């Protein structure tokens, strides 16, 4: 499975868990609260300071502050969707950090590193195999070079939003984080609890309800927790703006694996080809702010029964 990605404070230590399905979608006030408490405070100013060394194959160490920020940022994306929180694992951090060193040393993204590569180790090999991997560009894309880029899943090679699916996997409970000043690794494959049950009927990105406009990207996705048997083969997707006008979309072929069953499409009517290519977003200037975008997904077979889903996404500015 290829999951490649090129990423073109007051810390809150408590939990925001909302247990009731009926509380979703969250109110605009709640979204703003979570954004301010978890997303804004997890911003990295100027990039990650790395103390490792390539010639010595020293992976370096990250501060507790970075680990907490990674946990807060991932949990922001999960909580706004009604998913359970995840925790950072010091044990998993080790292999994730080794993987980040290997990526930086070779300037190459690979889940299957060769033993001949610079700074190869069993730890790095395990980290590369089990992590979402990214080359970070803090200069050109400072807002997405820390965790958020994995939600964005830029580029056609990421048509199945594999990184996003991992971070929003309904059965994820912990993760490892590793980074240098030019690379990032989030180890997820060893952080799964298949016995964990999810009460959500579906998980969407952008999520149902109010979404900061800066976190809306061209590729949209809709997942149903793995506890169900799901068939998207006959599914139809329709998007309309606040005036009821259809929004052009491009549906991608479903990529099946052991994560939550997911259908992905590109909202072509919301982003120009240039914006898609260069990671730009003009939704605010084009008048989509504070107006509902409707999403209808029909003819999904869930546990042998045909089901239809309808929800709204309203871009807001925080």
Same domain, 169 and 137: yes
**What contacts 139, CB < 8 A, 6 or more positions away?**
none
Q: How many CB atoms lie within 10 A of CB 64?
A: 10
Q: What is the model's pLDDT at position 13?
A: 38
- Res. 170 pLDDT band, cuts 50 70 90: very high
Of 86, 62, 223, 58, which is closest to residue 146 (Cα–Cα)? 62
Choosing from 154, 187, 220, the residue where a domain stops is 187
Phi first, then psi: give them for residue 156, nearest 5 degrees.
-65, -30
In this structure, is residue 111 part of a structural domain? yes
* 153 belongs to a structural domain: yes
User: Are 48 and 123 part of one and the same domain?
Assistant: yes
| Domain co-membership, 183 together with 208 | no
CB 211 within 8 A of CB 276: no
In the structure, what pLDDT confidence band is assigned to residue 212 with cuts at 50, 70 and 90?
A: very high
pLDDT band at 138 (very low <50, low <70, confident <90, very high): confident
Structural domain contains residue 147? yes
Q: From the CA atom positions of the chain, what is the Rg in Å?
A: 19
Domain-terminating residue out of 137, 152, 187: 187
156 and 228 in a single domain? The answer is no
Write the CATH number for 157: 3.40.33.10
Q: Which pLDDT tens digit goes with each residue over 23-42?
A: 789 999 999 999 999 999 99
180 and 33 fall within a common domain: yes
Residue ending a domain, choose from 141, 161, 187: 187
Q: Is 2's pLDDT higher than 70?
A: no
Q: Please give the mean pLDDT across all residues of the chain.
A: 92
Kindly state whether residues 215 and 93 are assigned to the same domain: no
179 in the same domain as 208:
no
Split at pLDDT 50, 70, 90, the class of 11 is very low
Same domain, 153 and 247: no
Which tens digits make up the pLDDT trace of 92-136?
999 999 999 999 999 999 999 999 999 999 999 999 999 999 998
Same domain, 278 and 180: no
Q: How confident is the model at residue 315 (pLDDT cuts 50, 70, 90)?
A: very high
Q: How many CA atoms lie within 13 A of 316 on its CB side?
A: 16
State the Cα torsion 265-266-268-271 to the nearest 10°. 150
- In the β-sheet with 262-266, what is the strand arrangement from edge to edge? 203-205, 219-223, 262-266, 250-251
User: For residue 194, is it within any domain?
Assistant: no
Structural domain contains residue 286: yes
Same domain, yes or no, for 40 and 110? yes
**From edge to edge, which strands make up the β-sheet containing 87-88?**
6-7, 131-136, 183-187, 174-179, 87-88
pLDDT number for residue 305: 97
Tell me, what CATH number does 252's domain have? 2.60.40.1220
**60 in a structural domain:** yes
Q: Which domain holds residue 170?
A: 6-187
Q: Are residues 269 and 134 in the same domain?
A: no
Q: Which two tokens stand for residue 155?
A: 């580029």
Phi, psi of 38 (to 5 degrees): -115, -40
Residue at 192 is within a domain: no
Provide the pairing of β-strand 219-223 with 305-316: unpaired
Beta strand 219-223 pairing with 262-266: antiparallel
In a domain, 242, yes or no: yes
> What is the count of structural domains for the chain?
2
> What is the model's pLDDT at position 14?
43
Are 182 and 303 members of one domain? Answer: no
| DSSP-based three-state secondary structure for 32 | helix
How many whole angstroms separate alpha carbon 295 and alpha carbon 293? 7
């Amino acid at each position: 499975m290829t999951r490649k990605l090129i990423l073109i404070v007051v810390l809150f230590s408590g939990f925001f868990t909302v247990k009731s399905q009926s509380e979703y979608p969250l109110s605009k006030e709640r979204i703003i609260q979570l954004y301010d408490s978890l997303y804004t405070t997890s911003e990295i100013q100027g990039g990650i300071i790395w103390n490792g060394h390539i010639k010595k194959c020293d992976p370096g160490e990250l501060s507790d502050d970075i680990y907490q920020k990674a946990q807060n940022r991932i949990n922001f994306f999960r909580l706004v969707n009604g998913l359970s929180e995840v925790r950072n694992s010091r044990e998993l951090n080790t292999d994730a950090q080794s993987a980040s060193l290997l990526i930086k040393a070779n300037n190459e993204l690979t889940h299957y590193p060769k033993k001949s590569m610079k700074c190869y180790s069993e730890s790095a090999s395990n980290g590369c195999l089990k992590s979402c991997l990214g080359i970070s560009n803090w200069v050109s894309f400072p807002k997405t070079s820390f965790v958020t880029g994995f939600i964005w899943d830029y580029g056609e090679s990421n048509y199945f939003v594999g990184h996003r699916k991992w971070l929003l996997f309904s059965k994820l409970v912990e993760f490892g984080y590793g980074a240098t000043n030019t690379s990032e690794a989030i180890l997820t494959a060893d952080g799964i609890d298949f016995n964990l049950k999810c009460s959500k009927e579906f998980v969407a990105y952008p999520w149902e309800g109010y979404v900061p406009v800066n976190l809306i990207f061209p590729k949209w996705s809709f997942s149903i927790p793995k506890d169900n048997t799901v068939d998207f083969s006959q599914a139809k997707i329709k998007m309309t703006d606040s005036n009821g006008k259809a929004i052009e979309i491009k549906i991608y072929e479903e990529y099946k694996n052991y994560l939550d069953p997911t259908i992905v499409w590109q909202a072509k009517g919301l982003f120009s080809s240039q914006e898609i290519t260069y990671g730009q977003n003009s939704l605010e200037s084009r008048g989509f702010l504070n107006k509902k975008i409707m999403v209808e997904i029909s003819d999904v077979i869930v546990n042998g029964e045909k089901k239809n889903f309808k929800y709204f996404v309203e871009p807001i500015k925080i």
